[in-house]
Amino acid sequence: MNKKNKGKETIRVLLLILCGFMIGLQVYMANANALVGEKLPMPFGYGAAVVLSGSMEPELSKGDLIFVKEDTFDVGDVVVYQDVNYLVVHRVISINEDTVVTKGDANNTDDGEIPMSVVKGKVTFWIPALGYFVNFMKTGVGTALTLIAAFLLIEIPRRREAKKDEQEREKIIAEIERLRKEI
């Protein structure tokens, strides 16, 4: 295998790993949500979510992908908490003994007192607009496209190899026929 083919094979394997990771993550997230009602599972103390509103603008915008860490937080930190059926991403404006008060940067009023137990963690960093892609990948179409991509990454090289093998077999048969005629 030459350098060019090794590079293509490496890229193909990395893309297959990415597809597998994306499918596994989708299954994990769906099960966490359906089985235990977790909108933001935090395996190993980390999670990711998509900002769904403009309440934190200009710092965070709708469609940003945020990364959350289970960690202590202070006034001024942006945290994520689960409010019944959805996640809220807001800034901490005060901390009491067992509760915290948060407010969206673009909101006029605070969220009231929230039990500390519903706070998932604080936002450590974010990637602007990547959440749109993540949300698309959670749809049936996104999952189907990921499965199709994985299938093609496996099937296309297999067919190319089979075609090469068939051409090689035909060359060998032609050489055998040529040698028979010589005898």
**CA nearest neighbour of 48 among 71, 66, 72:** 66
CA distance 124 to 154: 37
140-182 vs 130-137: helix crossing angle, rounded to 10? 70
Cβ pair 70, 42 in contact under 8 A: yes
Q: In 3-state terms, what secondary structure has residue 41? A: coil
C-alpha distance from residue 151 to each of 1, 12, 13, 19 (Å)? 23, 11, 12, 10
**CA nearest neighbour of 68 among 138, 129, 125, 127:** 125
CA distance 104 to 137: 27
Q: Could you confirm whether 94 is annotated as catalytic?
A: no
Q: Which positions are catalytic? A: 53
